[in-house]
Amino acid sequence: SNSANTAAERLKVIVASENRLHNRLTPERIEKMKREILAVVNTYVSGVNIDDVNIQHHNEANMEVLEMNISLPDSTRQ
């Protein structure tokens, strides 16, 4: 969806800005990002909990990678 594309682009900008400033994403900053992303997701999908958001930060082939997975609730449970 358009909102998802916009959110993905914003996340890319955040990470790119962090790299330009030579600030690494600390565990504390990743947790803050996780809470903020959860708040945005919950405006569109109810029932997503903090444990449903998984963010992995690692280096791969000389590139800094930030992966995010969000488990959405089964719509039949709502």
Q: CB-based contacts of 24: which residues, under 8 Å, 6+ apart?
A: 18
Count CB neighbours of 33 within 10 A: 19
Q: Grade residue 21 by pLDDT with cuts at 50, 70 and 90.
A: very low
pTM (predicted TM-score): 0.61
> Is the model's pLDDT at 6 over the cut of 70?
yes
Domain locations along the chain? 2-77
**Taking a C-beta distance cutoff of 8 angstroms, is the pair 68, 54 a contact?**
yes
Give the number of C-alpha atoms closer than 13 A to the C-alpha of residue 65, restricted to the C-beta side.
9
> Is the model's pLDDT at 78 over the cut of 60?
no
Instruction: Kindly report the backbone phi and psi dihedral angles of residue 75, in degrees, each rounded to the nearest multiple of 5, phi listed first.
Output: -65, -20
Which one has a higher pLDDT value, 39 or 22?
Answer: 39
pLDDT for 13? 65
CA distance 35 to 19: 21
